[in-house]
Structure 1
Amino acid sequence: MCGISGWVDFERDLSTKGATGRAMAETMACRGPDAHGIWLSRHAVLAHRRLSIIDIEGGVQPMAVDELAVMTYSGEVYNYRELREELEGHGHSFRTESDTEVVLHAYLQWGEDFVHRLNGMYAFAIWDQRTEELLLVRDRMGIKPLFIHPTPHGVLFGSEPKAILAHPQVEAVVDIDGLRELMAFVKTPEHGIYKGVYEVRPGQLVRVRRNGISKRRYWKLEPVEHTDSLETTIGTVRSLLDDIVQRQLISDVPLCTLLSGGLDSSAITALAARALDVPVRSFAVDFTGYAENFKPDVVRETPDTPYVHELAEYVAADHKDIVLSTVDLMDPVNRAAVLRANDGPNSLGDAFTSLYLLFKAIRQHSTVALSGESADEVFGGYLQFHDPKLVYADTFPWLAQAGLFSEQPSLLAPDLLRELDLAAYRADSYRDGLAEVPYLDGVDGHEKRMREVCYLHLTRFVQILLDRKDRMSMASGLEVRVPFCDHRLVQYVFNTPWAMKNFDGREKSLLRAATRDVLPESIVQRKKSPYPSTQDPTYEHALREELAKLVIDDTAPLGSMLNAEQVRLVLNRPVAEDPVPMATRFDIERVLGMNSWLSTYAVDLRL
């Protein structure tokens, strides 16, 4: 999968700046534990940390073709074999078996339009030695991250902000808008957290020349009239999934699937089992005592484990459960690793830490994993797709579902919250998102609104989840692939009418119909259950203990920004008889994370 970074400056000689380039790349050693490399020229430095997946011996980076172009590349292009055959027909010759070399030759053959030919997840930089220009490209759905920091005479870039922050000219400054973006749970396109650091938008191409930086969207969701019948639509979805899974099983290292026992991950695991010549290996996360002491709530009716085991037996998978405890989740080393991987705090706490620990355990057995992530956004799986109050709320539907459209009692100081004005920030972001929706002529009413809901999830909410998946997996050197993010499937299903997506009155109707022949009936009929969160009361108790330590620590950077009264109410509330609401638990997680972040990153908070 790898981590990439670099520096372009048209007014300086960078040929002696290898130490800086290596320092930037070294911050992402976890992304590429297998090898490292650097390429220097007068005006460009390209660096690379490699996780070897395809052509382990030959795919060394940065990779150059003669004196024409050089590339540092992260990700996978799944159709590289077809592209290689086509390029050979144009006279290109290859010295490796890697997809990296194919992508580089594709650029030399077709220029920047080569991006339209790529199928995969990727973020890469190409320095064209002929024109002294840098090309930065991110995949269509934003599966792989890419950040840039424009400078007076060029640009700094990296797979993660930490690579840019390692440059001696960059400070970890966070202003009011950066803090808003961190806390708003909206994922504004191109908006970074650190001042001057921006995220390349999914499906975007950035060109850096002497006269400045230009950007172009090479892909976005387009309105296309859907004329297929329901039967044809179901068949097309299945045909696409068969092709996608088959392509994404390409690997020269051990591969597995992530299995939760839900429809999405079960479908991927079952399709992979059919395509492989050996038993599919699968992994699931679980918590100590979770299944035995499970308590249903508004989003989870059943625990995952029984369904996980049923599916594993059904497809004869080589399965393993990764069981986590409160001790694991609260381990300072693990929490610090999550903070470091994420380049900042999060509000979902154990949903990040448990995912990191799951990936860390999987990495002992496999280097590549296939995930069911994004099926809910593509096919309409969440409650907010089906509850009219949430569908028609005047905000992002996931905020309405979580109750975040109205201000909750917070552990942060009222003055800080007033200055942040998150409600206005979210409202502005929501209006911007709606303004982008590609409508079809003649579509109105509920169909039009559902098109808006689907678009917002595919361009905003899914980015939150993909970013979490990438950061937590790459912190352990594990490549996680997301078949449901194949742009062909996303585009096709996006333009399918909602009445067809919901034809049987249930969530993810099309996916259920397209894959029911490979699944046990219990999983076909199982209701949507999100990624699990520990219900162990000792976890909340441990969080409160950490919060109590924070409020009496005179050196805590967040101390002056807390709502002392609200903190006191939370700390005095009995745990066993009256656990705090989940929103309050997330608030504790956020406060603890923000305090660690301000300390660890030496953040200059300019509010």
Structure 2
Amino acid sequence: MCGLLGILTANGNAEDFVPALERALPCMRHRGPDDAGTWHDSDAAFGFNRLSIIDIAHSHQPLRWGPEDEPDRYAMTFNGEIYNYVELRKELADLGYKFNTSGDGEPIVVGFHHWGESVVEHLRGMFGIAIWDTKEKKLFLARDQFGIKPLFVATTEQGTVFSSEKKTILEMAKEMNLDLSLDKRAIEHYVDLQYVPEPESLHANIFRLESGCTAIVRPGGKLEQKRYFKPRFPVAQVAKGKEQDLFDRIARVLEDSVEKHMRADVTVGSFLSGGIDSTAIAALAKRHNPDLLTFTTGFEREGYSEVDVAAESAAAIGAEHIVKIVSPEEYAGAIPKIMWYLDDPVADPSLVPLYFVAAEARKHVKVVLSGEGADELFGGYTIYKEPLSLAPFEKIPSPLRKGLGQLSKVLPDGMKGKSLLERGSMTMEERYYGNARSFNFEQMQRVIPWAKRDWDHREVTAPIYVESTGFDPVARMQHLDLFTWMRGDILVKADKINMANSLELRVPFLDKEVFKVAETIPYDLKIANGTTKYALRKALEQIVPPHVLHRKKLGFPVPMRHWLAGDELFGWAQDTINESGTDDIFNKRAVLEMLNEHREGVSDHSRRLWTVLAFMVWHGIFVEHRIDPQIEDRDYPVEL
């Protein structure tokens, strides 16, 4: 796990940008404190921070490689891990290629030489890749299928700059003549959805290469992006009596994925939240590491923690368990630091406990496994059961369904059946926006009066729904979440918050081979017997302890509603709003009214308030340069 930074210049003056690159590189030293390096020729300059996991003594980057007749033809920087690198190395060696290291990076560039851009289809892992071909004069960029690893890009008349973290691009903005204006549409998207959807960032001229995509850039040219990974979720059937065959396939592929994800020259631990996903990963990891350490977090307020269940699970699988308890004071104190690490705000309160449990884990291990992705791949969210309850509405003619929707609007709030009528009157494209939404349009206009009437979630989701035409209803929801909630929230916090602690997080559920099995699960085996992830649960019956098998996953739940109404965070929230220089974005009086309404119990505004507060802290750091995130041991400026 590492951090890459580079520039492909438009005018062949890469040497001029090396000082700026060297100044910006320490901004993400947390991604790779073990080693750093730079390289440049006339067209390109690369920088790298390394967290040494595999082939620790070698595999330095930027990595140079070329065939015997063209030595050093390629320069590569790579962030991530390739879990099938042993098999790839053998395959390419059998074709006659020579290797200079034993790490997982060199097979990528050798594979690029042999297979070209399609090398990504041979990689099993998580990655952000940049390869400069000095002969063909082209830069190749790539991200893994699911978007586990980030890659930010910006292009000006000076050239194209790319990085694992946006803050390094901000640091080079002056040399790049990069306009750092905020994107108001992206702000609307964030306020509504709690995250900034790909490919946007909050800065109008910086974007993200999308998950499952590659790109080619030539000096002075535009970035040409191409999608190589398209989830399909084919309409699948399992013959009666053959269900166990499917369950066995799921168990086998998960065991293989965990075994591959355990490949490292350092100690690997596991997060354990108490739910079925993380427990399954930890139980399988224990088979490969008898001394497995597991980690979880909780809060001082009773009833908001899975600490006891996680400890019970750890005991059942025989793992040594370590717990970090987070106080409200620690929580509030860490928020500026976390927003700095995130690059763009994500309004997910679980970011903070994740930061603390990652910091605790880093005292003991360098790599942890986690259960992210199981819900999206195997149908785990409770909302995925909604198509069953709304199925009768599908038989009603469209005009009558719309009439039911109008009827729902005149029914009193809280009346039984009102929500069912409202949602049943809408198509899935109209009603389902993914797993998070803070504001409806009327609520949004209360806090950002300039919000445009033409905005709703379909601006983000409509193109994704087109791709899922013909999928079963649950698969359509899974497909949407893969491209919105998972890569906008789940994987951003998985990467940024763990990397903030120089800790590599690996996610065995989000594996290309696991997905090949998961996408074949039929509708009736995802949601069955009144539960979610039915096929996965059946596959894990011999792997996870019985007390976990049918338990609802809670992750790291945060008592945000209570804290914002009480003494724990009310004063902090009030000060954050009053001191924020976001008057041109938010109606701060309306936000303060929401805070008071929340404290008085008039309405639960906790999710909406947290969305605004997270943005205000982010703005105070990156735009106003008023808030010091207090990053320890830094040798770069506070003002980015």
**TM-score normalised by length of structure 1:** 0.89
Distance 1:536 1:193, change over 3 A: closer
Distance 1:394 1:592 in 2: 31
Which one of 464, 467, 477 corresponds to residue 453 of structure 1?
477
Deviates more, 1:462-471 or 1:586-595: 586-595
Which one of 541, 558, 574 corresponds to residue 533 of structure 1?
558
Q: Is the 8 A contact 2:126 2:148 kept in 1?
A: yes
Distance 1:519 1:143 in 2: 25
What is the Cα deviation at residue 424 of structure 1?
2.0
Distance 1:519 1:223 in 2: 27
Distance 1:225 1:381, change over 3 A: closer
2:414 equivalent to 1:406: no
Match of 2:581 in 1: 557
Match of 1:52 in 2: 52
Distance 2:560 2:112 in 1: 51
Match of 1:182 in 2: 190
Distance 1:90 1:397, change over 3 A: farther
Distance 1:398 1:311, change over 3 A: farther
What is the Cα deviation at residue 235 of structure 1?
1.2
| Paired positions, count | 575
**Which letter maps to 1:319?**
H
CA deviation profile, 1:412-449 (whole Å, cap 9, x unmatched):
755x344244x724122222221121536xxxxxxx32
SS of match in other structure, 1:123 = strand
Q: Is the 8 A contact 1:154 1:208 kept in 2?
A: no
SS of match in other structure, 2:135 = coil
Distance 2:268 2:60 in 1: 21
2:209 equivalent to 1:200: yes
Distance 1:368 1:420 in 2: 44
SS of match in other structure, 2:131 = strand
Distance 2:365 2:553 in 1: 28
What is the Cα deviation at residue 259 of structure 1?
0.2
Deviates more, 1:502-511 or 1:560-569: 560-569
Match of 1:465 in 2: 490
CA deviation profile, 1:457-483 (whole Å, cap 9, x unmatched):
122111121111111111111110111
What is the Cα deviation at residue 568 of structure 1?
4.7
Match of 1:215 in 2: 225
2:526 equivalent to 1:501: yes
Distance 1:536 1:435, change over 3 A: closer
Alignment of 1:94-173 (within 5 A): 94-152=99-157, 154-167=159-172, 168=174, 169-173=177-181
Match of 1:433 in 2: 464
Match of 1:383 in 2: 382
SS of match in other structure, 2:30 = coil
What is the Cα deviation at residue 360 of structure 1?
1.4
SS of match in other structure, 1:386 = helix
SS of match in other structure, 1:91 = coil
Distance 1:170 1:137 in 2: 23
Match of 2:366 in 1: 367
Q: Is the 8 A contact 2:273 2:555 kept in 1?
A: no
Match of 2:636 in 1: none
Q: Is the 8 A contact 1:351 1:533 kept in 2?
A: yes
What is the Cα deviation at residue 551 of structure 1?
5.1
Match of 2:572 in 1: 546
Distance 2:560 2:159 in 1: 49
What is the Cα deviation at residue 284 of structure 1?
0.5
Distance 1:274 1:355 in 2: 25
Distance 1:32 1:91 in 2: 33
Which one of 228, 241, 251 corresponds to residue 238 of structure 1?
251
Deviates more, 1:168-177 or 1:3-12: 168-177
Identical-residue share of aligned pairs (%): 27
Distance 1:471 1:570 in 2: 30
**Which letter maps to 1:201?**
E
2:11 equivalent to 1:11: yes
**Which letter maps to 2:56?**
I
Alignment of 1:170-319 (within 5 A): 170-185=178-193, 188-210=197-219, 211-222=221-232, 224=234, 226-228=236-238, 229-276=242-289, 278-289=290-301, 293-294=302-303, 303-319=305-321
What is the Cα deviation at residue 311 of structure 1?
1.1
**Which letter maps to 1:271?**
L
What is the Cα deviation at residue 450 of structure 1?
2.0
Distance 1:16 1:251, change over 3 A: same
Q: Is the 8 A contact 2:434 2:485 kept in 1?
A: no
Q: Is the 8 A contact 1:162 1:343 kept in 2?
A: yes
Q: Is the 8 A contact 2:145 2:212 kept in 1?
A: yes
Match of 1:70 in 2: 75
Which one of 518, 541, 554 corresponds to residue 543 of structure 2?
518
Q: Is the 8 A contact 1:383 1:401 kept in 2?
A: no
Deviates more, 1:361-370 or 1:557-566: 557-566
Alignment of 1:562-577 (within 5 A): 562-563=586-587, 566-572=590-596, 575=599
Distance 1:113 1:347, change over 3 A: closer
Q: Is the 8 A contact 2:14 2:44 kept in 1?
A: yes
What is the Cα deviation at residue 304 of structure 1?
1.6
Distance 1:192 1:559, change over 3 A: closer
Q: Unpaired segments of 5 or more residues in structure 1?
A: 296-302, 441-447
Q: Unpaired segments of 5 or more residues in structure 2?
A: 66-70, 390-419, 626-640
Q: Is the 8 A contact 2:272 2:295 kept in 1?
A: yes
Distance 1:552 1:508 in 2: 45
Distance 1:383 1:224 in 2: 22
Which one of 607, 613, 623 corresponds to residue 586 of structure 1?
607
What is the Cα deviation at residue 174 of structure 1?
0.6
Deviates more, 1:338-347 or 1:366-375: 338-347
What is the Cα deviation at residue 245 of structure 1?
0.3
CA deviation profile, 1:276-333 (whole Å, cap 9, x unmatched):
3x221100111114xxx317xxxxxxx52232111111111011111111111011xx
Distance 1:602 1:565 in 2: 21
Distance 1:325 1:566, change over 3 A: same
Distance 2:130 2:121 in 1: 16
Q: Is the 8 A contact 1:326 1:536 kept in 2?
A: no
Distance 2:602 2:543 in 1: 41
Distance 1:551 1:283, change over 3 A: closer
What is the Cα deviation at residue 11 of structure 1?
1.3
Distance 1:164 1:574 in 2: 38
Distance 1:242 1:23 in 2: 43
Match of 2:354 in 1: 355
Distance 1:372 1:106, change over 3 A: same
SS of match in other structure, 1:212 = coil
What is the Cα deviation at residue 170 of structure 1?
2.3
Distance 2:18 2:46 in 1: 9
Distance 1:157 1:568, change over 3 A: closer
CA deviation profile, 1:74-118 (whole Å, cap 9, x unmatched):
000000001111111112222211111121111122222211110
Distance 1:571 1:188 in 2: 27
Match of 1:87 in 2: 92
SS of match in other structure, 1:140 = coil
Distance 1:106 1:401 in 2: 37
**Which letter maps to 2:476?**
E
